[in-house]
Structure 1
C-alpha cells in the first residue's frame, strides 16, 4: 500500500481518492472467493453487476413521476429501501438476456413511446389505452414493497402507480371472468433475446381475478419517484408483492380476461418448478434449492447473513384470506 506523506507527516486524501466502503467490502469478498477457488459463473455474474452498478443512472436522469404515500393497508414497509443502483442493475428480464446484469446493459433498445395496452376478453368495455390514458385513470401513489425473487434474493423498492383494480373496474369484467392474463411486449427488433429458446414468447403471466382485484396488486409506471427504467419493465408493469417476482409481468401490451386458468411462461417452461400461484411460501422448496431464506441485495455483498423468508413475503395479514382452505403445497 502506498501512503502519501509530507515533511510534516500524513496527508489526508481528498474524498474522491477514498474507496467507498461498499466497493472496499466487495473487493475484499472477491479476494476471499478467488483465494478459496470459488470463482465461477455465479461470481462472474455478481462481479459484473457490481461493476455495472457503478455506471447505472441515478434518480434524476429520468422523467419525474411522484405519488402521494399510499394509504392502502400493507402498502408501505418501514424496511430500508434498496439503493437505486442495485434495483436498476440486478434484474430478471429475459427479453434482454439471462444474466442479471444483461437488462441494464441491453434494454436501451426498448422503445416505450408510443405505447398502448389492449384490454380484451370477458369484459363489457374492451379498449385500447395509451400510456397517457392509463396515467390519467387514477392518482399515482408511492408504495414501498418487498420484492422476493424465486432465486433467493430480495429487494425493497418504492414503486409509483395505483391499484390494478382501478383499471379492472373501468372495463367491467363479465360474470364468467375468473382469470386475467398479462402479455408482455415481444419485439425481436428492440428486445434482442426474444426468439431464444429459454421461453415461449411472448412472456405471459396471469392472476385469479380476486388476486388482481386485491388493493396491493399494483399497476406500476415508476419507481424511486421517476418513470420506470427500461430494465425494470418500462413503461408499465405489474407488481404483486406477495408472489415471486416473475409473476409481475413487465412492459405489458395486452390484458385479457378469461374463464380458464391461463398457461404462463414459466409454468409452461418447467411446471414442476414454477406453479401457477407462485406465492412466496418458505415451506415449499424449489426442486433445486430451499426457499426458507433469502439474501437482501445491497446488504454487504455475497457474505451477508441471509434473512428468514416470510410467508406471503410478509403480506400474510393482507392476502392470506385469498387462499383460505387451499393446500398451498399442492397449489404452489
Structure 2
C-alpha cells in the first residue's frame, strides 16, 4: 500500500486504512443512544443524592484541585464521576463519527448527525458548568435536562438512519395518520417539559443546603403532568385504532403497542413515587422510564416511513458473486 498523502485530514486518512461494516456503524450509533440514556440517569443520581454541588466549581472540582478531595466525601465523587462520563460519551460519539466517515460509500447524513451529537454534548457540558456556578438554578437545571433529551433525540434518529438506506423516504401510512403521530410527539414533548418543572419546584433540589426553587406548588404542577399523561395515553390508543383501521404495516402497529406498554409501566412508577412521597430510587427509575417513553415515541414516528438503498452509480463494480455451497452445486 502506498503512502497516504499528508494533505488528507485525519478522518480521510482513517477512511483509507479502515472500512467498518454497516453493522459496526449501526452498533456505534446504538452505543451513543445507550450513553445518552446513561447521562440522563446518572445526572438524576447526582441530584437525588444531593451531590449537585459535590464539586462546588467548574471546570475544576475545587479552586485548587481538578479532582474531588477526601474532605468532599461521596458527594464529590458522584458529581465528579458524572462529569467524567461526559468524556466517555464524547468517545462513543467520536467513534460513531469516525466509523460513519470511514464507511464506503460515505453517508453524509450519518456524519452530520454524529457531529450534531458532538456539539450538543459540548453545549450541554457548558450548561452543566453554568448549573454549578449558579448554585443549581432550577431553570438552568431544567435546560440541562432538556439538552440531554435533545441529544437522545438526535442519537435515536442517527441509530434509525444507520439501519436504513439513503434513498428518499417513502410513507407507509397516509398523511392524516402521520399528523396524528406528530401530535402524539408534541404532547409527549410537553409532558417531558412539564416534568422538568415538577423537578424544579419539587423537594429534590440537588443539594443539602438551601437551593432556589421554581416558585410554584409542585403538587399542582404534578397534577398537570398527570393530565398530560392521560392525553398521551389517549393519543396512543387513538393512533393504534387508526393504524388498525387503515391496515397499516406491522412495524408501525407494533411500535405503538410497545409505546403503550412503556407508558403504562411509567404511569405505575409515577403513582408509586407520588404515594410513597418521592423516594430517591423510585424517582431515578421514573427518569429512566422517561427516556424509554421518548425513545418509543420517536420510534413510532420513524417507523411510518422507510428508505431504500440508493442505486449503485453507473460504472460501479458489481458486487462479488456469493460462493455456491457444494451440496447445492452437486444437486444442480
For the aligned pair, the TM-score class normalised by the smaller chain equals: under 0.3
TM-score (norm 1): 0.28
Report 1 or 2 for greater relative contact order, CA contacts < 8 Å, sequence distance ≥ 6: 2
Bigger proportion of residues as strand: 1
TM-score (norm 2): 0.28
